[in-house]
Amino acid sequence: MSTATLKVATEADTQVEDLTDGFHLVIEALKLNGVDTIYGVPGIPITDLGRMAQAAGMRVISFRHEQNAGNAAAIAGFLTKKPGICLTVSAPGFLNGLTALANATTNCFPMILISGSSEREIVDLQQGDYEEMDQLAIAKPLCKAAFRVLHAADIGIGVARAIRAAVSGRPGGVYLDLPAKLFAQVMNAEAGAKSLVKVIDPAPAQIPDPAAVKRALEVLKSAKRPLIILGKGAAYAQADEAIRGFVEKTGVPFLPMSMAKGLLPDTHPQCAGAARSTVLKEADVVMLVGARLNWLLSHGKGKTWGEPGSKRFIQIDIEPKEMDSNVEIVAPVVGDIGSCIAALAAGLGHDGPSAPADWVATVRAKREENVAKMAPKLMKNTAPMDFHGALGALRTIIKERPDAILVNEGANTLDLARGVIDMYQPRKRLDVGTWGVMGIGMGFAVAAAIETGKPVLAVEGDSAFGFSGMEIETICRYNLPVCVVVFNNNGIYRGTDVNPTGGSDVATTVFVKDARYDKMMEAFGGVGVQATTPDELARAVNAAMDSGKPTLVNAVIDPAAGSESGRIGNLNPQSVLRKK
Ligand code: ADP
Ligand code: MG
């Protein structure tokens, strides 16, 4: 604590006491627990906390808006299995960060939102403080746990509780409320140092019950048409080799959810990604590995899943309450994915692959048929581009640079890129996740570059980009190897809608025609490129990836190319009474 002390003469002026304060204790508590990066936006009352954290050797990345800093922290948590830290000011800054905190919790990403807050005495009497808000109460329902620290001596415990809550069991978002007064509180330095807590084994292994493992294997072995679905929980677990070994040993076709793409390569012979509808409809046993039967999997029922009652589900998840949340799970296996997969693999013994050969052949044939169907669409070299032509170019780039990280959001831009761009390595695809939310783009891109040092390709719908677009200044400021490609079709879904009244306002889903997003990047010293054909797009992205320079490519897409709400138009109610 030598850097954190202040010598103060006592009354008698005979002894000198070493003091520390809240600022130093927060920083020391984080550092003691291996936190080396903070994402945030400076301001009252945490400006000095950021400065002092930087002075203490931490990386402090300042954003233009808290939601983007929060998204950065959340995805840092997903990539590293350590809680990502987002630091904000009180009331409005806190609320801006809260969207990201709630999104992190929904996606099971470990994150801690640390916000400064106003004085308790004034807030609780509602006497009208600067940025007065009962932040703890507001955060509680939107995260896994929420804590407030009132005394400097409790900072160590507060930070420890936040870390353990974020990463143990099912990971999620945690709120830590630090009132302004806390930072300036002083205490004896030695007592302060002793009050800090190093969290031992923050995410303990959770070993599955051997009976549950045996049950699961019996169900899997009895299947005629087995399917393994890998979710982002499996990607998060960082049990890559064990998962790959298990999947290959069984020979069972696997389907990756979008952020689990690359856990095994999309080009793996067992990958059923291109035969999705067939395997969901026809499988008789489905093993879910860190994937939830939520809306993204049609809740495990309905037309997508074929004949009612035709499936039996095995589910591996760390969260016991997840079982039976939508349909009956005949073989729940509760534990962490690394431990569960290890136990299942051990139980398989030395038998060869258990997947029936005719089923494996059916899936492979369907997949090859669909891949062949898509191939010509990806080679169209037209101007303006359509989605497939542009994505075909990007698909080749990721194939040639499999360690690059792909960030992806939008409607059509998201749905089509997910299918077209094959991934080859784990945790390389970061996207809109469980909520299908827009606005994650630049926050995810910044953190992906900071946490991994790898080149980042952010493929963004023009509308999606707008939610975090100002952060291209952040990308330029930290000189990050991020290439943003804006799929510019002049609007939301499409750029062709017209105002039905014939009035001078444009239609609600339309943006400025032929906007030049590339010029925004140039304004901050980055490279801006306009691309009108897939060849131009490929050239620009390759140059960006080679140079590592912040780049934005304005990819001109046919305004008529998109469809309403991308592939989830069914979720967007439309009035039958609307005048066309
Ligand atoms: P996807 O959207 O890819 O299907 P979900 O976010 O729906 O993925 O599901 C992820 C699941 O993984 C959650 O139910 C979560 O509890 C679980 N999970 C997260 N980390 C682990 C882990 N280390 N071990 C086991 N399960 C995990
Ligand atoms: Mg658009």
| pLDDT tens for each residue of 208-255 | 999 999 999 999 999 999 999 999 999 999 999 999 999 999 999 999
* Rounded CA separation 75/84 (Å): 7
Ligand nearest, relative to CA of residue 104: 1
* Nearest atom of ligand 1 to the alpha carbon of 294: 7
Residue 578: band (very low, low, confident or very high) from pLDDT cuts 50, 70, 90: confident
Tokens 């990345």 locate to 61
pLDDT at 565: 76
Q: Band of the pLDDT at 11, cuts 50, 70, 90?
A: low
Give residue 464 CA to ligand 1 midpoint distance, Å: 25
What is the distance between the alpha carbons of residues 370 and 362, in angstroms, rounded to a whole number? 13
Q: Judge contact between 289 and 229, C-beta under 8 A.
A: yes
What is the rounded CA–CA span in Å between residue 493 and residue 463?
A: 8
Ligand 1 atom with the smallest distance to the CA of 203 is 23
Q: Which pair of tokens denotes residue 193?
A: 């140092």
Do residues 316 and 345 make contact, with C-beta atoms less than 8 angstroms apart?
no
Q: What is the dotted CATH code of the domain comprising 379-570?
A: 3.40.50.970
Tell me, yes or no, if the two domains 210-365 and 379-570 fold the same way: yes
State pTM to two decimals.
Answer: 0.96
What confidence tens digit (pLDDT) does each residue in 473-488 have? Answer: 999 999 999 999 999 9
Q: In whole angstroms, how far apart are CA 385 and each of 11, 412, 414, 441, 541? A: 77, 13, 16, 22, 15
Distance 491 CA to ligand 2 centre (A): 4
Identify the three-state secondary structure at position 33. Answer: coil
Q: How far is the CA of 509 from the centre of ligand 2 (A)?
A: 9
Instruction: Work out the burial of residue 474: count CB atoms within 10 Å of its CB; fewer than 13 is exposed, 13-18 middle, 19 or more buried.
Output: buried
Residue 258 alpha carbon, nearest atom of ligand 1: 3
Model confidence band, residue 412 (pLDDT cutoffs 50, 70, 90): very high
- Residue 438 CA: which ligand is closest? 2
Give the number of whichever ligand sits closest to the CA of residue 561. 2
Cβ 161 vs Cβ 99: under 8 Å: no
Give me the pLDDT at residue 566, please.
79
Q: 210-365 has which CATH code?
A: 3.40.50.1220
What value does the mean pLDDT of the chain take? 95
CA 309 to ligand 1 centroid distance, Å = 25
- The model's pLDDT over 255-300, given as tens digits with 9 standing for 90+, comes to 999 999 999 999 999 999 999 999 999 999 999 999 999 999 999 9
Q: Cβ–Cβ contacts within 10 Å for residue 498, how many?
A: 10
pLDDT higher than threshold 90 for residue 4: no
**297-303, long-range: CB < 8 A, 24+ apart:** 297/229, 297/257, 299/326, 299/327, 300/326, 300/327, 301/326, 301/327
Q: How far is the CA of 414 from the centre of ligand 2 (A)?
A: 11
Amino acid 3: pLDDT: 47
Structure tokens at 331: 């073989």
Cis upstream peptide for 559 (omega within 30°): no
Per-residue pLDDT for 1 more than 50?
no
**Nearest-CA residue for atom 4 of ligand 1:** 291
Q: What residues are in contact with ligand 1 under a 6 Å CB criterion?
A: 107-108, 170-171, 231-233, 236-237, 257, 259-260, 290-292, 294, 296, 317-319, 322, 336-337, 434
Closest listed residue to residue 38, CA positions, set 91, 92, 97, 90: 97
Give the mean model confidence (pLDDT) for residues 445-461: 98
Instruction: Report the percentage of the chain scoring pLDDT > 90.
Output: 91
pLDDT recorded at residue 242: 98
Query: CATH fold of 4-195, please?
Result: Rossmann fold (3.40.50)
Ligand lying closest to the C-alpha of residue 295: 1
- Confidence (pLDDT) at 180: 96
Query: Please, what is the end-to-end C-alpha distance for the chain in angstroms?
Result: 69
Render 541-553 in DSSP notation, one character per residue: HHHHHHH---EEE
Give the residue from 422, 449, 437 showing the smallest Cα distance to 551: 449
Supply 157's token pair. Answer: 């415990």
Cα(235) to ligand 1 centroid in Å equals 8
Residue-level pLDDT at 179: 97
Task: At 131, list the tokens.
Answer: 């940025």
Among 167, 207, 228, 236, name the best residue to mutate to test ligand 1's pocket (greatest count of ligand atoms within 8 A of Cβ). Answer: 236
Q: What confidence tens digit (pLDDT) does each residue in 90-124 have?
A: 999 999 999 999 999 999 999 999 999 999 999 99
DSSP 8-class letter at 212: H
Cβ neighbours of residue 317 closer than 8 Å, sequence gap 6 or more: 170, 233, 288, 290, 292, 323, 332, 333, 334
Residue with the larger pLDDT of the pair 329 and 4: 329
Percent of the chain with pLDDT over 70: 97
527 CA distance to ligand 2 middle (Å): 22
Question: What is the distance between the alpha carbons of residues 142 and 139, in angstroms, rounded to a whole number?
Answer: 5
Domains in the chain: boundaries: 4-195, 210-365, 379-570
Residue 86 has pLDDT above 90, yes or no: yes
Task: Using the predicted structure, report yes or no on whether residue 575 has a pLDDT greater than 90.
Answer: no
**CB-CB contact of 39 with 74 (8 Å):** no
The residue whose CA has the least distance to atom 22 of ligand 1 is 336
pLDDT at 71 > cutoff 70: yes
How many whole angstroms separate alpha carbon 156 and alpha carbon 199? 10
**Which ligand is closest to the CA of 559, given by its number?**
2
- Centre of ligand 2 to C-alpha 248, Å, is 40
Q: Which tokens sit at 436?
A: 């299908």
Across the range 361-379, mean pLDDT stands at 95
- Closest ligand 1 atom to residue 434 Cα is 2
Residue 397 has pLDDT above 90, yes or no: yes
Of 78, 170, 316, 334, which is best to mutate to test ligand 1, by the most ligand atoms within 8 angstroms of its C-beta?
170
The C-alpha angle with vertex 485 and arms to 482 and 491, in degrees rounded to 5, equals 140
- The residue to mutate among 337, 408, 418, 437, having the most atoms of ligand 1 within 8 angstroms of its beta carbon, is 337
Is pLDDT above 90 for 350? no
**Tell me, what's the pLDDT at 495?**
86
The pLDDT of residue 2 is 44
Q: What is the 40 CA–ligand 2 centroid distance (Å)? A: 29
pLDDT at 128 exceeding the cut of 60: yes
CB 204 within 8 A of CB 338: no
Q: Which pLDDT band, with edges at 50, 70 and 90, does 12 fall under? A: low
- Which residues, in sequence order, are bridge partners of residue 8? 17
- From the CA of 321, which ligand is nearest? 1
Task: List strand residue ranges (DSSP E) for 206-270, in order.
Answer: 226-230, 254-256
Residue nearest to atom 18 of ligand 1 (CA): 233
CA 438 to centroid of ligand 2, rounded, Å: 12
- Nearest residue (by CA) to ligand 1, atom 11, is 290
How far does residue 407's CA lie from ligand 1's centre (Å)? Answer: 19
Rounded Cα distance, 391 and 376, in Å: 12
